[in-house]
Structure 1
Amino acid sequence: MSSTDFDDTLTNLAQPKSAATLTIRVIKSFEFRTERSLVLRPVNLEKTTVGELKDIVREAIRTQPGWKPYRTTTFDTLKLYTRAHGAKTTNLIINLDHDDWILDEDSKTLEECGFENETEVSFFNRESYSKFQANPETRWT
């Protein structure tokens, strides 16, 4: 490959479904836009279920340094945020539309839910999300 050549493989196709990279947007507060990202790799999209992904993230929050402020929140819901090369929402914390993107079936594999390499999902408390959705105002104090 010369210096003028480049690999034009789309990043969502660059890794096999058995070794994908996922970004989990762990949202502590919608109102204060408190969010921290957790990058997971390699994740087998063909075998990992929604419920297993929730458990993996909860374990990371419980055991990894820097997550202590998040340990008091009950995280129970995953929602697709964006796929690689897809459109992103204008809301900085979560996409408030597309409630059909909420992943309610813990037994489904991530592949069945449409995950690809470099998919981003939000992980949050469903009750807090419903309250924010009804009144999507942010606070900065």
Structure 2
Amino acid sequence: MSDAISDVLTNLARPKTSATLTLRIIKSFEFRTEKSLVLKDINLETTTAGQLKELARQGIDLLYSSTSILTIHTQPGWKPYRTVNLDTLKLYTKAHGAKTSNLIINLDHDDWILKDDSKILADLGFENETEVSFFNGELYEAFKANPQIKWEG
């Protein structure tokens, strides 16, 4: 007997009022330094792009802090991300969508950059399991002008 949710595409498995989003927090484009921050139970019908940025910043602080209410979820390695001026969101991929061949960020589709912090995520096409890159816009523009990887791991 199949699980009730197994026959539903994952982007439709949860309502827009309780979505899971993955934010790819990018510290360095050249060194491919990024960590994924998973945010659960996000209401896509009321949350704005600006609020998503703030939730991500708070999430980074909470995951770094050993005294937070999220102590059981504390993850090492978030301290360096607290020093980056994270100011830009860009859609990376939606569930079941094509992914870019660039491992750090998709350099095409600059129309996927979320420029209006007041826009509601659902109106921007977000759905459950959407992946978004969060980074410093100036560093992105510099990397896009000269997309050289300085280290291969």
| Correspondence 1:105-124 to 2 at 5 A | 105-124=116-135
Distance 1:59 1:8, change over 3 A: same
Number of residues of Structure 1 aligned to a counterpart in Structure 2: 140
How far the C-alpha of 1:62 sits from its partner, in A, is 2.2
Q: Distance in 1 between matches of 2:84 and 2:7?
A: 41
Kindly indicate whether residue 147 of structure 2 is the aligned counterpart of residue 136 of structure 1: yes
In structure 1, list runs of 5 or more residues that go unmatched.
none
TM-score by length of 1: 0.95
TM-score by length of 2: 0.87
- SS of residue paired to 2:133: strand
Q: Percent same amino acid at aligned positions?
A: 66
In structure 2, list runs of 5 or more residues that go unmatched.
65-75
Q: Distance in 1 between matches of 2:5 and 2:62?
A: 40
Q: Distance in 2 between matches of 1:39 and 1:112?
A: 21
Q: Which moved more, 1:115-124 or 1:64-73?
A: 64-73
Q: Distance in 2 between matches of 1:70 and 1:43?
A: 22
Higher relative helix content:
2
How far the C-alpha of 1:4 sits from its partner, in A, is 10
Task: Name the structure 2 match of 1:94.
Answer: 105
Q: Distance in 1 between matches of 2:42 and 2:14?
A: 10
Q: Distance in 1 between matches of 2:150 and 2:99?
A: 22
- SS of residue paired to 2:123: coil
One-letter amino acid matched to 2:18: A
Distance 1:37 1:4, change over 3 A: closer
How far the C-alpha of 1:6 sits from its partner, in A, is 7.9
Task: Name the structure 1 match of 2:68.
Answer: none
Task: Name the structure 1 match of 2:88.
Answer: 77
Deviations 1:46-86 (A, max 9, x none): 00000000000011122322311111110000000000000
Kindly indicate whether residue 65 of structure 2 is the aligned counterpart of residue 56 of structure 1: no
| Correspondence 1:21-60 to 2 at 5 A | 21-60=20-59
Kindly indicate whether residue 16 of structure 2 is the aligned counterpart of residue 11 of structure 1: no
